[in-house]
Structure 1
Amino acid sequence: MPSTYSPFSDDGNMLPKREKRHWGEALYLSYGSFLEVLQSSLVDDWQKDLLNMAASDDAKKMQNHFESKGVLSQLVQSPIGGTNETLLTEEELIHFKRFLFSVHVFGYNWLQDNAISAANLVAYIDKVLNTYKNDHGYGLAVEKVIILTHSMGGLVARYAMNPPEGAFQGCQDKVLGVVHGVIPDLGSPAAYRRMKVGAAQEGIPGAVLGSTAEELMSVLAFAPAPLQLLPYPKYKSSWLIIEGGGSYPSIVDAATGKFDPFNEIYLRKDVWWQLYEPDILDKDITTINNNWENYSISMRDDVKKFMEHQEKGQYHPNTYIFYGTKIESDNSLTWKKEVEGKAYMNPYSGHPYIPKPQENNRHVEVYGEMDSNKVLNMGDESGISYKQFILESSKGAGDGTVPVESLVDIMKSSSIQSSLATNVDHQNAYAVDSLSDIGKRKAIQFTLRAIVKMVQEVDIRAAN
């Protein structure tokens, strides 16, 4: 854990123990330091106030023992950047310090349908609120939560607050405000890339997900949540380019006025660049057909319906968002023809020699057939040609996973109180090492200030 000195521990007594607040459900590599720093930040200023009141004059001079100014006080009247920026005032911070903030974690299965995770989030929020109504806090808690999301978690939270009619009761009336970090609001072509060639290019995250298409595709094809990260119909047109074979999606659906990536990309089985290859591991024809049938049902019933609902653009009216713009991202993808040639007879096997791609992001497509009536010798042309394609990223603006094009809808919404474009990378969007490190982290500063701003809506009399 990072060093975050706190005279009053949050791990029991003052707040429920971290275990009971489900901190163990978060991946420590990504969120461990952030959770510690976030919780410490939310109680740092009033604790520093107490220390300053109790300390002697000599102790106050010993700045190496403690900082006399809380981390949030350091943000007062300090520009961070972003749209519609309003500086933090001393009055707002004074109001904020009248409340005690407890950090809880909601962990979910990143493979299951995000709609299921959303329903579970609603139940978890009720559980948290009940904790402070009946078990901890003497019934004085204001009955709303603030939600911070990361990546796919933003899709889960959005759905939880505004589910489709008849699904379950949404929780927006129990949420004071939301900070979305690097939300893939309209999906990302990175989801297609991972399915087709694996995630070997992504370092540790890639090793966890699976390096090759063989490792990834057979899992992701039956996992609704990762498929719900594919580019939505509202994502920009022609994000998938096949050199010599067209750009997709490019046809506007007359009924919806949007592009149709499902019929043009996701549910195609007549082209080599189709999203799902049901025979990538299985060779039995019955199994292959069942694979495709199950995949198609999931795409239509889970993925498409989820996307269509999210595209209605329902956001919490008190929403803040930060996103990355400085790291090369898959804004679009191109299958670029790299090698083209004719196949010759293999001197050992008696079959045409066709080079196999040495890297996962390449595909070899074979054309033509051998003349069965013609006797071929070693080195003779077989009559078969081949083309080798490489999948290339546009390497445009984004956070390494979510391109800026995915944010078009949310940035247009009147619900967005402020947004910040910064240099975060996707996996480590909330990275921070210590309280002193906050000064170098615009995304963390933005998040903390947003929380203070949200709390201004709470009448202090409601907590008395």
Structure 2
Amino acid sequence: MSDSDQARYAPGGLGTDGGHEFRWQLTSTRFTDPVILELPPDHVLPVIFVPGIMGSNLRNKNGKDSVWNLNSTGGQPTALVRSKLMLNAGQRQTQLNPSHVEVDPSGAVPKQPVGSVYDPKSYTERGWGEVGETSYSDFLVWLEQVLNGQGFNPAKWPQFSYVAVSATPVPGHSRDVPPLTGGICMSMRQLDGLSKLAEKGSADLYSDDLIARARFRMPVYACGYNWLDSNGVAATLLKNRIHRVIEENNRGKSRCSQVVLVTHSMGGLVARACQQLEGMNGVIAGIIHGVMPAIGAPVAYRRCKVGMADESQPSWLHPGDKIKAHVGARTIGYTGPEVTAVFAQAPGALQLLPSAQYRSDWLTIDGPSGKSMTSEPRTGDPYKDVYLREDRWWGLVRKEWLTPEGGSDLKWSTFEKNVSKARDFHEGIRDSYHSNTYVFYGKDKKVPSFECVHWKLRRSALPPDAVAPPTPQQVSNMGFGDVRDDGINPLHVGGGVRVLPGVESPTVVDTSYWDLVCAGQDGGGDGTVPASSGAFPLRSGGASIQQQFGLTGIEHESAYHNLTTKLVTLYALQKIASMAKVGT
């Protein structure tokens, strides 16, 4: 370690009395350089992160025991997997009952200060313990650092540069960089061609945006919610959190009147509902939606039918992401009965199903030739045509799966009410976006995603003897009782279990005339949300969508681990902050 002749900066924070507070660790007397206390702006524009489904920690309301905890062990929620691994459908249904759980704020948080956080206890106070460590902690740390740990002179922010003079000093030169002047077109380091990713004009960023952004401190918060309950309920919870955060930052010299929301997946639906609530549009300066299923995702239907066991993953996917996909199956359910037992009682989960705005032929039954024999929803009403269909095997739910042994005895009437809540929620947020909205989504054709769900009829390799098989058209019109279905691929028509004699021991085989195979992914996207749903905001949001980015190479669950998505988010934050109100 050598002596330094460079000035060092101690960023200021907000003390408990609302005044400025500075902390600095004592260093060796060999260091004679000054430590500069940089006064932060008085104005605050908090950033609140809203996670996706399964991204919030949950606990039982009564005993306060954890029922869904995403603390990390080696980068994976190992404890969660162990707790759910051996549970049957009934036990999962009982544990994950939306009326019995609430947000658990005691999840793991970083141990080291970063940005404007001096005391690690502040992470919990800011809600970071409510959201999954495995999915979000690294992103929240990064965001807190780039927004609050780099000083308030935008000329020194290392993520930005311009052609004439670097926005950061040349290594070894003085830190006394002249302030930025207006009218300079900026670039983002490590993100070449930002405008090429933009889908609404150009994505220009000017020094004026950065100068305006530098008016604010932007502390990072998080808001977990009960993702099993309706997103409308979560929207009210988010509203209350927003008001509390604004109040917390209106102390002493600190002034705060608005917040920015950054969302992941289903969190975007929560935020869209929240901005519609009375008085909320004005206190939200803008919203950034990441990989949001704007009009739903067919994979939600498929999981209720055949579980998550056979969802293929792209070959290029990082091994860690493949493990996370496996974790999802282990925790929510490998089979249709396991998934249905939880999803059918969870309005929030059902609100991820394709809405009436989704394409009208997303569910097909294809004959042996590959030609579609029928497609649904036939009338454009997926709730009536598919989700509540009781007389066709391809309806969303088998009634007997609602009441697994040891479960909560879920009634069909309750399921109907939950589907009705999904329909009402979809209609409530239809084409509704905050007036200052930015969007990014996955549009990679190489990332397999379910644009549609295709049931394919194929002849069985072991047809039974006796009567002739039903015709393909008859098969498509069969009810639940005519199809043998244990919640995994494939389903069977006709035949039954046969015992074939063997040399050492008999072999048990399942014969059928026809197998009904739920096909794999047929489109691109991010692996969960198809590109058409992710891109829909620009189609329906009109002038509210300030910019939308279609990105390649991103995976849904770990979207915010990707450097490109981080920088796109940082870009959008500069634009939103440049237009935000200064607190009074």
- Does TM-score exceed 0.5, indicating one fold? yes
Q: Structure 2 matches for 1:376-455, cutoff 5 A?
A: 386-407=513-534, 409-412=536-539, 413=541, 414-423=543-552, 424-432=554-562, 441-455=563-577
Report sequence identity in percent. Answer: 30
In structure 2, the residue matched to 1:57 is none
**2:259 pairs with one of 107, 128, 145:** 145
SS at match of 1:279: helix
Query: 1-side partners of 2:377 and 2:156: how far apart?
Result: 61
Distance 1:283 1:51, change over 3 A: closer
Distance 1:280 1:337, change over 3 A: same
Alpha-carbon offset, residue 157 of structure 1: 0.4
Deviates most, 79-88 or 266-275: 79-88
Deviation per residue, 1:148-182 (Å, 9 max, x gap) = 0000000000001114xxxxx35111100110001
Query: 2-side partners of 1:304 and 1:262: how far apart?
Result: 7
What is the one-letter code of the residue matched to 2:198?
G
Q: Does residue 330 in structure 1 map to residue 450 in structure 2?
A: yes
Deviation per residue, 1:220-268 (Å, 9 max, x gap) = 11101111000001100110011245110122xxxxxxx1111110000
In structure 2, the residue matched to 1:269 is 390
Q: Which runs of 5+ in 1 are unaligned?
A: 53-59, 164-168, 252-258, 346-353, 369-383, 433-440
**1:126 pairs with one of 236, 240, 243:** 243
Alpha-carbon offset, residue 280 of structure 1: 2.6
- Structure with greater strand share of residues: 2
**1:305 pairs with one of 420, 424, 428:** 424
In structure 1, the residue matched to 2:148 is 43
SS at match of 1:299: helix
In structure 1, the residue matched to 2:4 is none
Alpha-carbon offset, residue 139 of structure 1: 4.8
TM-score if structure 2 supplies the norm length?
0.62
Deviation per residue, 1:161-213 (Å, 9 max, x gap) = 114xxxxx351111001100011010010100111111123422222221111
Query: 2-side partners of 1:395 and 1:38: how far apart?
Result: 35
Aligned-pair Cα RMSD in Å: 3.5
Alpha-carbon offset, residue 16 of structure 1: 8.3
What is the one-letter code of the residue matched to 1:411?
L
In structure 2, the residue matched to 1:112 is 229
Query: 2-side partners of 1:408 and 1:49: how far apart?
Result: 32
Deviation per residue, 1:79-127 (Å, 9 max, x gap) = 4131223322223212222311100000011111111001111011011
Q: Does residue 260 in structure 1 map to residue 381 in structure 2?
A: yes
CA contact (8 A) 1:236 1:405 kept: no
Query: 2-side partners of 1:50 and 1:87: how far apart?
Result: 17
Query: 2-side partners of 1:29 and 1:385: how far apart?
Result: 44
Aligned length: 397
Q: Does residue 211 in structure 1 map to residue 327 in structure 2?
A: no
Q: Structure 2 matches for 1:310-389, cutoff 5 A?
A: 310-311=429-430, 313-326=431-444, 327-340=447-460, 342-344=463-465, 360-366=488-494, 386-389=513-516
- Structure with greater helix share of residues: 1
Query: 2-side partners of 1:24 and 1:307: how far apart?
Result: 29
Distance 1:397 1:48, change over 3 A: same
Alpha-carbon offset, residue 360 of structure 1: 2.1
Q: Does residue 291 in structure 1 map to residue 411 in structure 2?
A: yes
Alpha-carbon offset, residue 23 of structure 1: 0.6
CA contact (8 A) 2:494 2:512 kept: yes
